[in-house]
Chain A
Amino acid sequence: MAGAAVLGRLTWRLAEVVDGIAETPRVKSLVLDVPEWPGHRPGQHVDVRLTAEDGYQAQRSYSIASPPEDARLVLTVERLDDGEVSPYLVDELRPGDRFELRGPIGGYFVWEPRPDESVFLLAGGSGIVPLMAMIRHREADGIAVPARLLYSSRTLDDVIYRAELDELASRGNGLEVSHTLTRAQPPGWNGYARRVDAALIRDVAWPPGAGAIAFVCGPTAFVETAATALAELGYPADRIRTERFGPTGT
């Protein structure tokens, strides 16, 4: 949707749960029907609002995991132990349940494919979600630009979309995936085994002169470290897009 038309103001809609997919022990993808969904762009998010019987409302933002090509909207949610909204979304919702949703939201943290522009994606924990929408869009649309993902997780069991990422990376169509496991690694692990730092990014990133665009998403501390490292590596400020998730389980 380049050259976006004038939007109406955002309003709340009702989303209906069609299916739930357990991604990891703490993470679930919600497959939703949203009547008259206007479509979205990879990287955008929605706001979700829950209303208790006493009228109390809680609202949180969740990134859209599905690419624009999918018929249904998918949100991937990580359950936070002290969360107000995520435990309900992950543990309580059943097919047929409905909740309020507002979106799609965003225009800065959105990937617009360009033929000569490689993509570098950096994910910390559940920060993978909007980047996965970008990866899935790249696959669905047959976009050939080179793409690299650097994905930081605590353990292998915490890697969201692990099988899908393995499969996509094995297709040989220009997607490369590097994992770093920060807390524990399985026997024989030959990926990275530490928190993302400047040296790791220098190893994996497209060189700064290559005209790549970088998208960084995850906990705020992760994003700050990664964005600073990219800037010091020589990425221009307008080629580094960031989205901070605030506190997460990681």
Chain B
Amino acid sequence: MDDRDLLLDGNAAGGLLGEIFTAEMTSAEGRCAACGALGPVGELRVYAAGPGLVARCPVCDSVVLRVVRAGARVWLDLRGARFLELRL
């Protein structure tokens, strides 16, 4: 097994994001606040561990999205995305 195999992508975040947002989020397009790269949430790099979720820019590796969930409480940090464009 390759160490790279521990990395997933934004598809794996779809379930958690789908509990928070009514719009489908893996196809949402965002711009990385650090490097300006534009791409879908589905292509963010997600590390598969922990009580929350950290999604990184596939181009510059900066954190784009951070979600921590404890029961019914959710902390959402979207500072790493300049914007997210989604479809209802």
Contacts and interface: CB of A to CB of B under 8 A. Distances in A.
The answer to whether A and B assemble together is yes
Contacts of A219: 1-2, 5
Contact residue range for chain B? 20 to 34
A102 interface: yes
B23 to A, nearest CB: 7
Contacts of A224: 4
B15 A103 contact: yes
Between A47, A220, A221, A243, the greatest number of chain B beta carbons within 10 A of the residue's beta carbon is seen for: A220
B19 A9 contact: yes
Interface in A1-47: 4, 6-11, 45-47
Interface stretch (A104-112, A145-153, A154-162, A177-185): A104-112
B11 A244 contact: yes
Contacts of A6: 22-23, 88
B60 interface: no
B6 interface: yes
A4 B26 contact: no
Nearest to B3: A221
B43 A108 contact: yes
B55 to A, nearest CB: 13
A103 B1 CA distance: 29
Interface string B56-88: 000000000000000000000000000000011
Interface of A: 4, 6-11, 45-47, 61, 102-103, 105-110, 219-221, 224, 237, 241-248
Interface of B: 1-2, 4-12, 14-15, 18-27, 39-43, 48, 87-88
20 contacts: A4-B87, A7-B24, A45-B14, A61-B12, A61-B15, A102-B18, A103-B15, A107-B42, A108-B26, A108-B41, A109-B26, A220-B4, A220-B6, A221-B4, A242-B9, A242-B43, A244-B11, A244-B12, A245-B8, A246-B8
